[in-house]
A and B are shown apart, each in its own frame.
Chain A
Amino acid sequence: DQQVKQNSPSLSVQEGRISILNCDYTNSMFDYFLWYKKYPAEGPTFLISISSIKDKNEDGRFTVFLNKSAKHLSLHIVPSQPGDSAVYFCAASDNRDDKIIFGKGTRLHILP
């Protein structure tokens, strides 16, 4: 029973264009959502988060959108750069029990 779903295992985007990574969740009690980036042989690093009381959060080239009614969030990267090539994980947390549950990840390839 997967509570956080990233249905696209991989995505290729031209350098300079917008990258859009999607994530769906099933648990309506999730109230805090995060995106992490992971390079090979390293631990995940935090990118951006959003609380359930907001529908958008922006940090430089990264914007996260949350649609609570659809139980869907997305990460937009504009413009995409070669260093953005990595695996991106979506994660969600329920403040009642402090678990953080991750999706399976999406591998982003930025093409020159």
Chain B
Amino acid sequence: NAGVTQTPKFRVLKTGQSMTLLCAQDMNHEYMYWYRQDPGMGLRLIHYSVGEGTTAKGEVPDGYNVSRLKKQNFLLGLESAAPSQTSVYFCASRLQGNQPQHFGDGTRLSIL
């Protein structure tokens, strides 16, 4: 009963390095989302996807790219990491509109 799985759980990067965060869901959900959580800021939407091969910008998309090549996977990329991207990243999925999201347990990312 995996649900939404995020990989890795923790990562430390140096400024300028690149990395990809992986989100995988096994519920056959159409919609997938990436959020970041910062102290006092709540959950802010980075990018989202309403189906395989589609992506759209959220509230704070700058500095990130995403891809949804397979329905079950949603990748979040940082091409050149900056200290301002230090955060906890959450992935979520849902079956369709007007349905609740299911969240992963997060990836804690530190950029030095």
Contacts and interface: CB of A to CB of B under 8 A. Distances in A.
Interface of A: 6, 9, 31-32, 34, 36, 41-46, 49, 51, 89, 91, 93, 95, 97-105
Contacts, number: 62
B79 interface: no
Given A41-B105, A43-B4, A43-B90, A98 B97 contact: yes
Contacts of A42: 105-106
A98 B101 contact: no
A34 to B, nearest CB: 6
Given A49-B100, A95-B97, A44 B58 contact: no
A39 B101 CA distance: 16
Interface of B: 4, 31, 33, 35, 40-45, 48, 50, 56, 58-59, 90, 92, 97-98, 100-106
A105 B56 CA distance: 24
A44 B93 CA distance: 12
B101 A46 contact: yes
12 contacts: A31-B98, A41-B105, A43-B90, A46-B101, A89-B42, A93-B97, A98-B31, A100-B45, A100-B101, A102-B35, A102-B45, A104-B41
B1 to A, nearest CB: 14
